[in-house]
Amino acid sequence: MARGPLRRRPLNVVVPIVSLVERRLGGRWWAESLREAPGSVEPQRENASDQQAVDDGVGAPLVRRYEISLEGAKVSPFGVLDKFRNDPNSFAPIEYAAFSKNSLSEGDRTEVRLAGPWNGPVQVVVSDVDRIRLATLDGHMEAGWIDFRVTEEPEALFVIESVARAGDHAFWLLHDRLPIGRWVQADMWARVLESAADYAQLPAGPGRVEVSTIRLDE
């Protein structure tokens, strides 16, 4: 991945593209499904005056789910999530997506600093033993929330799931109308999941990340 100047703005804008190419050539592309479905977004409790709720966004709501198996891992799923809670940058692809604060306790605010013109200010609105929820704040490229959760039964999994609209028309174009925004986002969260699986000490190493995208027709 990126070294030296490529880790710094504005040159780091090419790093996500390099990561996608490396993933494709390395045979590590995720398995993804994309479909449209009727549905509505659950009501969102307002946690702050500057929270950017789903209704504040542009375009159709997208439900995106990313998951990886932790079956057979030496570290429990709850231990993995706790590591992410206390050191998210140990899992994040910091070459192009880094948390500004190493704490995800309820009420904390942090910013996911990204390559390119957008950053992602968020607030931790839930921090439980099995789930962390981040709500987007004003200025985020999306409007909604994202969950990080783990399960042990019926299967040990680490799941990342977001429910959001684009925060503005430019991001809507790149993310919903064109695939590149979704690919970069999927690569970012896939790398978090793969790092989580490495931390969990899976005997065979990380498996393939499964991704599903549902465009809601409200």
Alpha helices per DSSP H over the chain = 15-25, 77-86, 169-172, 179-200
Which among 66, 34, 97 is positioned nearest to 207, based on CA atoms? 66
The tens place of each residue's pLDDT in the chain, 218 residues long, gives 444 444 555 666 788 888 999 999 999 999 889 888 877 677 666 667 889 999 889 988 999 999 999 999 999 999 999 999 999 999 999 888 899 988 899 999 999 988 777 789 999 999 999 999 999 999 999 999 999 999 999 999 999 999 999 988 888 888 788 888 889 999 999 999 999 999 999 988 788 999 999 998 86
Helix orientation angle between 179-200 and 77-86, rounded to the nearest 10 degrees: 110
Burial class (CB in 10 A: 0-12, 13-18, 19+), 10: exposed
pTM score: 0.90
* Tokens at 155, concatenated: 């299967």
Q: How far apart are CA 66 and CA 194, in angstroms?
A: 11
Q: How far apart are CA 55 and CA 145, in angstroms?
A: 12
Burial class (CB in 10 A: 0-12, 13-18, 19+), 27: exposed
Residue 165: Cβ within 10 Å count: 26
Q: Decide if 79 contacts 165 (C-beta within 8 A).
A: no
Buried b / exposed e along 111-147 (16+ C-beta atoms within 10 A): bbbbbbebebbbbbbbbeeeebbbbbbeebbbbbbbe
Which among 85, 70, 61 is positioned nearest to 134, based on CA atoms? 85
Where do the domains of the chain lie, and which CATH numbers do they carry? 30-41+49-217 (3.30.530.20)
Residue whose entry in the numeric block shows the structure tokens 């799931």: 161
Output the pLDDT for position 5. 42
